[in-house]
Structure 1
Amino acid sequence: MKIDIGITEKDRSAIADGLAHLLADTYTLYLKTHNFHWNVTGPMFNTLHLMFETQYTELALAVDAIAERIRALGFPAPGTYSAYARLSSIKEEEGIPSAEEMIRLLVQGQEAVVRTARGIFPLLEKVSDEPTADLLTQRMQIHEKTAWMLRSLLAK
């Protein structure tokens, strides 16, 4: 059945493409955060282990919301590692970095997600896609706050 929500198919496709990149970034950050949760060591182990668990749990819920918005716009949501590797601006880490480096890498990942989300806004404003703008605003707030909290752990 044809979708008639006041946004053309071409614009919905462009939004879905932007959201696919956001989904890939979010999933890649989820995987990285979960990996660091499992492998963190050192004097901040308990603090970071619990903080990373909170963060990856939140990210797991976020990927569902992003994928469902892509579906609501009428397009398939990417759901494979190969698609995420192609679409994500966040690179995987080889090996196990130090706890401090994990924090730095997660700050970079949180900020990358914000940049990806922010890049979609011009099209959303052009076509008045308030539901997607609302989703992205919420995601950006969460990622900016999480980046701040992580950066605070690095203050000397």
Structure 2
Amino acid sequence: MTSKDNSTGALIDSLNGLLADTFALYVKTKNFHWHVRGPQFHDLHLLFDTQATEIFALTDLLAERVRKLGGTTMTSIGAIAAKTQIADEDDTSLDAMAMVKQLLADNLSYVAKLREVKAAAGEAGDNATEGAVDDWTDQAEQRAWFLREIAA
């Protein structure tokens, strides 16, 4: 196996990790959309839905990058659960600010993962993935900014 094959394999693995994190972040954000309550209900309900929609839109783009590189993608909930770094949250009684703070931390973690993917793409000489990651990073940083301003 050549160095190019190794770096492409590492990029595919990194993209699949990001895909798993994307699905997990989507589910968590949608969960909070469904369960938020309190004085900020309306605004947070809408914000979480907007963010979840944006996150979900990335899943197909990520999977297609993996396939274009010759890899295979996530095939099941179990595969996603095994690969994600985003922690589940099953407590539906969390207050709204706890939800905001969790999503802020998760989106910041997601930005760090995006930077790992970008580095792997650079190592593999994959300019298309590097460029796409820049856009995805900007989206994640904007989500984090909105959440940080609410949590302030």
Q: Taking structure 2 as the reference length, what is the TM-score of the superposition?
A: 0.93
Question: How far apart are the structure 2 equivalents of 1:65 and 1:57?
Answer: 14
Aligned to 2:117: 120
For residue 9 of structure 2, what is the aligned residue in structure 1? Answer: 13
User: Which residue of 1 is the match for residue 53 of structure 2?
Assistant: 57
| Uncovered stretches (5+) of structure 1, i.e. residues with no partner | 1-6
Number of residue pairs the alignment of both structures matches: 149
1:132-147 superposed matches below 5 A: 132-147=129-144
> Could you tell me the TM-score, scaled by structure 1's length?
0.90
Q: Give distance in 1, aligned partners of 2:74 and 2:109.
A: 19
Residue deviations 1:41-90, cap 9 Å, x none?
Answer: 00000000111111111111111111110011111111311111111111
Give the conservation status (yes or no) of the 8 Å contact 2:14–2:120: no
Task: Give the gaps of 5 or more residues in structure 2.
Answer: none
Q: Tell whether 2:130 aligns with 1:100.
A: no
What is the CA-CA distance between 1:137 and the residue it aligns to? 1.1
| 1:20-35 equivalences in 2 (<5 Å) | 20-35=16-31
Root-mean-square deviation over aligned CA pairs:
1.3
More helix by share: 2
CA deviations on 1:113-150 (whole Å, 9 max, x unpaired) are 11111112333223321111111111111101110111
